[in-house]
Structure 1
Amino acid sequence: METCIKKASVKQQLSDVLLDISWAKISQKYFGKSSSWMYHKLDGIDGNGKPIEFTHEEKEQLRGGLLDMSERIRRAAESIK
């Protein structure tokens, strides 16, 4: 019997912080793309209703952007005296 294991989508992987982040700002700052581009990627459906995914390179870029933001947030939090 063949077992089918479905990998969690990027949106599922980000579920803990999904509502706390401005994805429009991330799209603009780290990708130079529109907010609709990011929302389509997160939803897995393009503007025409066809399936779409982040490429490996885009996933790495998103990972880097989130790590950059986390470092900036940490520095801001540490600056509070």
Structure 2
Amino acid sequence: MVFFDIADPRITSDKLCQVLERRNVLAMPGSSKSVRLVIHYQISDSDVQYTLTCIEKAVEEILSGNAKFEHLTNGSTTNSYGH
């Protein structure tokens, strides 16, 4: 498992997890300012790199104000974990 904290007050873990889910990266809020990722044994190095790139792009998207939370991949306004 990987946990990381969010330092920027403009980003919540819920927002970040929602934007990541649109990129098929499932993450779970650990708290309002932390995120949890689970890396399973079948995940490749390129999958990890993809995830890191997605996190970077998601942060940029949220900070630019271009993040849209109403159209997630599952058609819901909440992610797979109910957030």
Q: Name the one with the larger helix percent.
A: 1
Larger Rg: 1
TM-score, with structure 2 as normaliser: 0.41
TM-score (norm 1): 0.41
Judging by fraction of residues, say which structure has more strand. 2
